[in-house]
Amino acid sequence: MIRPTWSGRLAHDLQNRGLSAWLLCGALWTFYVVLYFGVPYTHPQGGLESFQAWLYQNATLHLDAWGARLSFGRDEGHIYRGDRWTLYALLYTLAMAIGGAWMFHRYAHNRYQVVRTACVLSVQVSFAFAVPILLKFFGHPEYYFSYLWPLKIEYLDPRNFAYFGEALVLYAFAASLIVTPLLGVFYGKRWYCSWVCGCGGLANTFGEPWRHLSQKSARAWAVEKVSVYAVLVVALASTTLWFTASWFPQDSTLAAWADTTRTYYGLIVVAALSGAIGTALYPIGGTRVWCRYFCPMAAMLGLIQRAGRFRIRVKRDMCISCGLCTKYCEMGIDVRAYAQRNEDFVRAACVGCGLCEEVCPRDVLRLENGRITWKRT
Amino acid sequence: MQIIVLGNGVAGTTAAREARQRAPHARVTLVSEESPYFFSRTALMYAFMDRLTRRDLEPFERHVYERERIARVHERAVDLDANAQTLTLAGGATLRWDRLILATGAVPRGLDVPGLREARSGVVHFVSLADLDACEALTPSTREAVVVGGGLIGIELVECLAHHGVRTTFLLRDDHYWPTALPTREATLVGQRLEHHGVTLLGGDTLAAVETDGEGRVAAVITARGRRLPAQMLGVCVGVRPQVDFLREARTPPEIRGGILVDEQLRTSLPQVWACGDCAAIQLPDAPAPLVETMWYSAKRQGTLAGANATGASLPYQRPLFVNSAMLVDLSYTAVGRSTAEGTTLRTLVRQHRRRPATQRIFCEGEQAVGFLMLGSSWDTERLSRWVAEARSVDWVRAHLASAQYDVELGPLDLRDAEEAWEDWPPVAVGAAHIGRGT
């Protein structure tokens, strides 16, 4: 390793789990804890609640105050009140925009990367930022059209149907249960994970400097296969439970279970896994920790992808085993293993970001939507 | 049965794994001095550029050797006795073998110019892990560098040095880069990309002398035309030659002609000894001279064959249609079939793009397409090879060219945006392959 300049050394340190990477990880983690866990309890009952109240008083409160500066509107009837979530959405979108600009610069020669980045950025700016704010401003429920069940699990929770209204519920059903599998069969999971989703969007823009840190070992794959499908099962079971509870409204036991699962799913899967672990771990564990190990949407799309048309084609006898594809796979797929065996492949994990194809110095790999076959690789 | 493979490069490692598959009960041992584990030599430049770590260069997880029961010995071999069927190591130990596969690879060619041998530091090659260590150690104290030799290894080293901000001069014996593989038009495009990255190209000149400072570090190079180029690093990348030196001195030397002479089944002149990869010179039945192929792809193919034949098969080496590819700075290079300067002059249809640094060149014999040379975009080598095998006409190929494009989705090169011309190439016979083809 040679880095003759101080900026080069810092970049290396930041991208290779050095001190600066750990500091950034700590800062991000602290931010997420403040964002998600501060609660303004008036009479905290000790323990966790006291901590949450303390956190709110000393930190979360200030995030809300900064977020409130993002309010706008003329009078009481037409006013948008910002809070810490507005601030978070703004920071998130800015981070993606900066990372996206870098992507455009870095991969200007690769039209797949340019179009993909443009798409994921526009979705973020519109459906994940501007539209929810405008909806709220005009007195409608805040709705993120780019987030679908089971990633946004509450969109198919019958308890919320009355709040969202018929049109949005219909949209949620159609988008999650018809459009998603259909596009998945034709284009693989990439249409969502790399072209639409904000989680993937942040990873593929702001997170680019750390994509190579994903674990490549066979052991990591073994863990992933268990954890990601476990979350999917939990998501499916929770949704089933919520529907059952709504069909038997008089059953108080079911209602209590439903509420408990809502609380814990929100706390563990949404706040801890997708936020604090998924994003804060970028500088240490690579970009797609949430997508790879925990996201139920990715798990579901992965299964569809295995049966669909998407595949990575491998040019026969052209791989030089350099390992750039494996190194820069954010999902930790050992792409080189397939390439040096001359095997076209479809992996459930692959989000179709196209970076393996981009970094290959011999143009061996190509993302394709082939014909439907049922052959397993 | 004990099978020993000497050399754990791509040829040796492929041979060992093939032997293991075909002879599940044999003992297979890989002997190598350079590195305890197989690594991708072609990826050295990415390690130098800090895009890969040393460990990333290893194509297999380390437990693969245990799983496949391939033993490793990390030591230099110094003697070979085919009568006693032994291999002697530098430490004095003797390994007995029943079958021996030699895959010793190649070493950089040297240059003999005044001052070069006196230079105690600053002179580098770029083919081994030790070379990589030396390059990395020297780079921080290097402001200017000169790289001699216009082949693939040369351009890799130039690219790495430029990446690290070193002012690099690429000293080319001919007017353009890589004359054995690239016509002037293509070589010019590559040269422009190099210049874009701050490299100075110096064509038609050679190294004449090396100046050193008080500590023996390279200080400047003098060219044949009398230029003095200050440089703290001198890269010598003028090709490689088979690594056979210790075999010449061995108790029972195999026959050596350029490389270790082998027949079409990769058998050497010694009983139960095979050779494959860069070190082998294959005498094919219908060829006038033995063939030394110093390419990753050939080494892999030969390794598979040697591993098979050493465990009982008797398969002949079938030289496939020539295919090579590389990344020249940021231009993809693809060559298929008869497309190098080493054959007779051919008529070529060349298509050069107006807005992008890209060309396609179709080599013709009569009306038939016999080879391709593509620069600046990606191509399906399998399809191009098939067209050559099927003896397609140049008109047919030109009409179907788009079906062999392998660019990324959404971004195929617009083939209509090109000017076409007919050129003979090579215009006159370019001298014998004085520049190694390298990786």
The domain spans of chain A are 34-69, 302-369
* Rounded Cα–Cα distance for residues A338 and A342 (Å): 6
**How many inter-chain contacts (A to B, CB under 8 Å) are there?**
99
Q: What percent of chain A has pLDDT over 70?
A: 97
Mutate to test the interface with B, among A2, A333, A364 (most CBs of B within 10 A): A2
At B426 the pLDDT is 83
Coil, strand or helix at A277? helix
Indicate whether B432 belongs to any domain: no
Structure tokens at B429: 């016979």
A358 CB neighbours in chain B (<8 A) are: 408
**Residue where a domain terminates, one of B309, B336, B361:** B309
Q: How many CA atoms lie within 13 A of B369 on its CB side?
A: 27
Q: Clarify whether residues B165 and B227 are in a common domain.
A: yes
pLDDT tens-digit map of A30-83: 999 999 889 898 888 888 889 999 999 999 999 999 999 998 887 766 788 899
At B432 the pLDDT is 44
Tell me if A198 sits within 8 A of A124, measured CB to CB. Answer: yes
Q: pLDDT-based confidence at A4, cuts 50/70/90?
A: low
C-alpha A267 chain-centroid distance: 16
Which of A4, A115, A218 has its CB closest to that of B165?
A4
A13 CB neighbours in chain B (<8 A) are: none
Q: Clarify whether residues B21 and B86 are in a common domain.
A: yes
Which of A321, A363, A367 has its CB closest to that of B409?
A367
Indicate whether B431 belongs to any domain: no
* Rounded Cα–Cα distance for residues A107 and A311 (Å): 22
**A327 — contact with chain B (CB < 8 Å)?**
yes
Question: A323 and B52: CB-CB below 8 Å?
Answer: yes
* Rounded Cα–Cα distance for residues B188 and B200 (Å): 13
User: Which domain does B374 fall in, by range?
Assistant: 323-425
Q: How do the pLDDT tens digits run along chain B, 439 residues long?
A: 999 999 999 999 999 999 999 999 999 999 999 999 999 999 999 999 999 999 999 999 899 999 999 999 999 999 999 999 999 999 999 999 999 999 999 999 999 999 999 999 999 999 999 999 999 999 999 999 999 988 999 999 999 999 999 999 999 999 999 999 999 999 999 999 999 999 999 999 999 999 999 999 999 999 999 999 999 999 999 999 999 999 999 999 999 999 999 999 999 999 999 999 999 999 999 889 999 998 999 999 999 999 999 999 999 999 889 999 999 999 999 999 999 877 788 999 999 999 999 999 999 999 999 999 999 999 999 999 999 999 999 999 999 999 999 999 999 999 999 999 999 988 765 444 444 444 4
Q: Looking at the predicted structure, is the pLDDT value of residue A376 above 70?
A: no
A366 CB neighbours in chain B (<8 A) are: 378, 406, 408-409
A12 CB neighbours in chain B (<8 A) are: 50
* Rounded Cα–Cα distance for residues A356 and A309 (Å): 19
Distances (CA, A) of B82 to A15, B27, B40, B87, B249: 52, 19, 30, 8, 13
At A130 the pLDDT is 96
Question: What's the mean pLDDT in A2-28?
Answer: 89
Amino acid B138 reads: L
Question: What's the mean pLDDT in A320-346?
Answer: 96
Which of A110, A315, A336 has its CB closest to that of B411?
A110
Give the residue from chain A lying closest to B64, CA to CA.
A218
pTM: 0.92
Q: Clarify whether residues B262 and B221 are in a common domain.
A: no
Indicate whether B316 belongs to any domain: no
- Rounded (10°) angle between helices A296-307 and A180-187: 50
Beta-ladder partners of B148: B171, B236
Indicate whether B161 belongs to any domain: yes
Peptide bond into A150 cis (omega under 30): yes
Distances (CA, A) of A50 to A39, A180, A206: 9, 42, 35
First to last CA, chain A: 37
Structure tokens at A111: 């039209």
**B405 — contact with chain A (CB < 8 Å)?**
no
At B434 the pLDDT is 42
Indicate whether B286 belongs to any domain: yes
| Whether CATH 3.30.70.20 fits A302-369 | yes
- Could you tell me which residues come within 8 angstroms of residue A252 by beta carbon, excluding any fewer than 6 positions away? none
The mean of the pLDDT values for chain A is 92
B80-107: b or e for each residue (b if 16 or more CB lie within 10 Å)? bebeebbbbbeeeeebebebbbbbbbbb
Mutate to test the interface with B, among A186, A363, A366, A367 (most CBs of B within 10 A): A363
Q: Clarify whether residues B129 and B179 are in a common domain.
A: yes
Indicate whether B435 belongs to any domain: no
pLDDT tens-digit map of A151-200: 999 999 999 999 999 999 999 999 999 999 999 999 999 999 999 999 99
Number of domains into which chain B is organized:
3
At A277 the pLDDT is 83
Indicate whether B255 belongs to any domain: yes
**Residue where a domain terminates, one of B265, B284, B309:** B309
What interface predicted TM-score (ipTM) does this complex get? 0.92
Indicate whether B174 belongs to any domain: yes
pLDDT tens-digit map of A106-128: 999 999 999 999 999 999 999 99
- Angle B66-B69-B72 from CA coordinates, rounded to 5°: 75
Mutate to test the interface with A, among B161, B327, B408 (most CBs of A within 10 A): B408
CATH number of the domain encompassing residue B165: 3.50.50.60
At B425 the pLDDT is 87
* Rounded Cα–Cα distance for residues B61 and B78 (Å): 29
Tell me if B391 sits within 8 A of B398, measured CB to CB. Answer: no
Question: A320 and B382: CB-CB below 8 Å?
Answer: no
Q: Clarify whether residues B58 and B144 are in a common domain.
A: no
- Angle B42-B35-B13 from CA coordinates, rounded to 5°: 65
- 22-81 of B, contacting A, C-beta below 8 A: 40, 42-43, 46, 48, 50-52, 56-59, 61
**A7 — contact with chain B (CB < 8 Å)?**
no
**Residue where a domain terminates, one of B309, B337, B353:** B309
Question: What's the mean pLDDT in A13-25?
Answer: 95
Q: Looking at the predicted structure, is the pLDDT value of residue A13 above 60?
A: yes
